[in-house]
């Protein structure tokens, strides 16, 4: 199939939306930045490729996001403003334009979030999920890449309802078909059960919190099939066993969200939100938003075309260098066929079926199929060392690994696969933490110190003089935050 032709800047859609540039592209369609000429509002437009525009299943999945926005009607859901067809008959939907970054990119930018920041982001997500569940909508793909932290306005948005389930059935997949992202899917999703409830989305919330708080996924890394198998048969390690210093109530709440038995899992997003608020005081995200705005304004002054104030993050200017050419049609096949959604990022969606399913739209679906690959014989290579990035909080904490004091935080520790190293973390006024770091996979591990218990102070003698005044705590300066250049609609 020939590569789809992109619409040039200046193209008028439905007589009022003037395209300004390509935001991103998927296997089913493309997303453009545009302006509604009638009111001067900047918007994002998803347009299906002509090659798939006539397929009923693609159209239905494409329309799912618009229907979800209308049914739920919540400020934490991306607002869909309009729908229609181009003059060539290609369906399109018009959405609000977002500025900011996904939680996935935010976590990467900050090299991990604090428990307070993690909870601060997830509270509005639970608000949006609660509204969706009350409207009878199950999202089915809650993950960091679908959580968008907006720099302006200061809100958090839940993205991509393209694979959501409305009421008893979405009408898009058959019973026994698993739809979602393997890293964050609930066991009942893996089995393709038809009667998914709110607890499936809350399992995904637990998986997101687990990864933010510990720096690792509940079921580790590996192939999609391996992750799905572990989701069904293994229980994640208790959060408290891999991350020290977290409030016990927070660890217990996250562990309860990841229970395999859906009947024992929390089922109400509002109740989970309330429990989170009692565990950890959430950080005011205005600090992050304001940092993002300052960075965006500073970048707009730099002589970089893609960062100019005439083009938003991720939007190529009219003079931008064209993208790299596509690989030729006869390029060597890959092991996994990836079909990206209209305007969405090729995600880790997977449809587990014996027969190949029809291609989908709004959420990407991975079809796992074996293809012959050439056999390459290479000389034996010694296994690469494993790197574990140890991040201690507070920022001034001191790290000692194997008896050697380190001058970094975070610190990268390396070791052979399967080995361990003892680490001690100390900080003034905090209880010392001692742990064994296992070199099992490249990852980031957090160590959060807690305040040391204060011993009772005896009454000073009359001639003992005035007691020393307590040391003042240094104020933590928020780190800078750059605006994500990736398209939030991908």
The secondary structure element, H or E, covering residue 36 is: strand 29-36
**Spatial contact of 122 and 110, defined as CB atoms under 8 Å apart:** no
Q: Average pLDDT over the chain, rounded to whole?
A: 73
Q: Which of 7-21, 336-350, 410-424, 431-445 has the lowest mean pLDDT?
A: 336-350
Is residue 387 very low, low, confident or very high in pLDDT (cuts 50, 70, 90)?
A: confident
pLDDT in tens, 13-49: 999 999 999 987 776 788 899 999 999 999 999 888 8
> Residue 384's CB: how many other CB atoms inside 10 A?
10
3-state secondary structure of 172: coil
Domain residue limits, the chain: 1-97, 100-287, 386-448
Backbone conformation region of residue 136, classed left if phi is above 0, alpha if psi is from -120 to 50, else beta: left
* pLDDT computed for residue 58 by the predictor: 73
Q: Is the dihedral of CA 413, 103, 153, 296 positive or negative?
A: positive
b/e map 166-197, b = 16+ CB within 10 Å: beeebebbeeebbbbbbbbbbbbbbbbbeebb
Dist. CA 146–CA 142, nearest whole Å? 6
Calculate the CA 328 to chain-centre distance.
Answer: 32
By the 8 A CB rule, do 75 and 155 touch?
Answer: yes
| Tokens found for residue 112 | 């991990």
Inform me whether the pLDDT recorded for 224 exceeds 60.
yes
**Residues 5-31, buried b or exposed e (16+ Cβ, 10 A)?**
eebebeeebeeebebbbbbbbbbbbbb
Q: What is the pLDDT of residue 267?
A: 92
User: Residue 122 — very low, low, confident or very high, per pLDDT cuts 50/70/90?
Assistant: very high
Token pair 């709004």 is found at 362
pLDDT of residue 319: 35
Separation between Cα atoms, residue 287 and residue 409, nearest integer Å: 22
Q: How confident is the model at residue 263 (pLDDT cuts 50, 70, 90)?
A: very high
pLDDT category of residue 110 using cuts at 50, 70 and 90: confident
Phi–psi pair at 331, nearest 5 degrees: -65, 155
Query: 457-489, pLDDT tens digit by residue?
Result: 555 544 444 555 555 555 444 443 333 444 455
Both structure tokens of 277 = 């608020």
Overall average pLDDT of the 414-438 stretch: 85
| Average pLDDT score over residue span 300-311 | 34
Give yes or no for residue 311 having a pLDDT over 80.
no
pLDDT, residue 159, reads 87
pLDDT at 352 over 60: no
Mean pLDDT value of segment 280-289: 70
Catalytic residues, by residue number, are: 141
**Which among 187, 339, 202 has a CA at the least distance from the CA of 261?**
187
pLDDT at 336 over 70: no
User: Domain 1-97 belongs to what architecture?
Assistant: 2-Layer Sandwich (3.30)
Q: Which pLDDT does position 179 carry in this prediction?
A: 73
Q: How confident is the model at residue 323 (pLDDT cuts 50, 70, 90)?
A: very low
CA angle 400, 451, 241 (to 5 degrees): 65
pLDDT of 2 over the 50 cut: yes
Query: What whole-number distance in Å separates Cα of residue 89 and Cα of residue 227?
Result: 41
The whole model's pTM is what?
0.61
Angle between helices 248-257 and 198-214 (to 10 degrees): 140
The residues facing 150 across adjacent strands are 100
Structure tokens at 97: 């334009």
pLDDT in tens, 226-255: 888 898 998 899 999 998 889 999 999 999
Q: For the chain, what is the radius of gyration of the CA atoms?
A: 25
Residue 178: which pLDDT band, with cuts at 50, 70 and 90? low
Contact assessment for residue 399 and residue 427, using Cβ atoms and an 8 Å cutoff: no
Residues 405, 423 contacting (CB under 8 angstroms): no
The confidence score (pLDDT) of residue 454 equals 60
- Pick among 2.60.120.10, 1.10.510.10, 1.10.3720.10, 3.30.160.620: CATH of 100-287: 1.10.510.10
What pLDDT shows up at residue 437?
85
User: Which strand (E) or helix (H) includes residue 165?
Assistant: strand 165-166
CA distance 383 to 439: 13
Architecture of domain 386-448: Sandwich (2.60)
């Amino acid at each position: 199939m020939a590569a789809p032709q992109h619409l040039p800047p200046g193209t008028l859609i439905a007589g009022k939306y003037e395209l300004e540039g390509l935001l991103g592209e998927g296997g089913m369609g493309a997303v453009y930045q545009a302006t509604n000429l009638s009111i001067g509002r900047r918007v994002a437009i998803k347009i299906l490729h002509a090659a798939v525009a006539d397929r009923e299943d693609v159209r239905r999945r494409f329309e799912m996001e618009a229907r979800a926005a209308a049914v739920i009607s919540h400020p934490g859901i991306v607002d869909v403003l309009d729908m229609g067809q181009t003059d060539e008959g290609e369906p399109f939907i018009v959405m609000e334009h977002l500025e900011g970054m996904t939680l996935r990119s935010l976590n990467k930018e900050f090299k991990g979030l604090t428990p307070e920041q993690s909870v601060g982001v997830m509270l509005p997500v639970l608000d949006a999920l609660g509204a969706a569940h009350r409207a009878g909508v199950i999202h089915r793909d809650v993950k960091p890449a679908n959580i968008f932290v907006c720099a302006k306005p200061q809100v958090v948005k839940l993205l991509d309802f393209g694979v959501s389930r409305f009421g008893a059935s979405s009408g898009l997949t058959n019973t026994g078909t698993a739809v979602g992202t393997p890293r964050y899917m609930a066991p009942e999703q893996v089995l393709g059960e038809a009667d998914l409830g709110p607890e499936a989305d809350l399992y995904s919330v637990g998986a997101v919190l687990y990864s933010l708080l510990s720096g690792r996924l509940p079921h580790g890394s590996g192939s999609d099939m391996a992750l799905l198998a572990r989701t069904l048969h293994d229980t994640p390690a208790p959060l408290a066993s891999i991350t020290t210093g977290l409030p016990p109530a927070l660890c217990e709440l996250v562990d309860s969200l990841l229970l395999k038995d859906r009947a024992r899992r929390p089922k109400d997003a509002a109740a989970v939100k309330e429990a989170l608020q009692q565990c950890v005081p959430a950080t005011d995200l205005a600090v992050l938003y304001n940092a993002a705005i300052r960075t965006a304004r500073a970048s707009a002054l730099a002589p970089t075309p893609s960062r100019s104030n005439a083009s938003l993050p991720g939007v190529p200017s009219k003079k931008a260098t064209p993208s790299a050419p596509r690989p030729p049609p006869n390029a060597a096949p890959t092991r996994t066929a990836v079909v990206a959604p209209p305007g969405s990022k090729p995600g880790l969606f997977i449809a587990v079926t014996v027969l190949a399913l029809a291609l989908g739209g709004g959420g990407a679906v991975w079809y796992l199929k074996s293809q012959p690959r050439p056999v390459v014989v290479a000389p034996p290579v010694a296994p690469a060392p494993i790197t574990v990035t140890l991040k201690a909080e507070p920022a001034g904490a001191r790290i000692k690994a194997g008896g050697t004091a380190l001058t970094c935080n975070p610190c990268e520790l390396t070791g052979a696969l399967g080995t361990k190293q003892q680490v001690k973390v100390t900080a003034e006024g905090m209880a010392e933490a001692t742990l064994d770091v296992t070199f099992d996979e490249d990852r980031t591990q957090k160590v959060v110190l807690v305040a040391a218990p204060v011993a009772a102070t005896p009454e000073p003698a009359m001639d003992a003089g005035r007691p020393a005044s307590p040391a003042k705590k240094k104020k933590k300066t928020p780190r800078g935050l750059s605006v994500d250049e990736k398209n939030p609609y991908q």
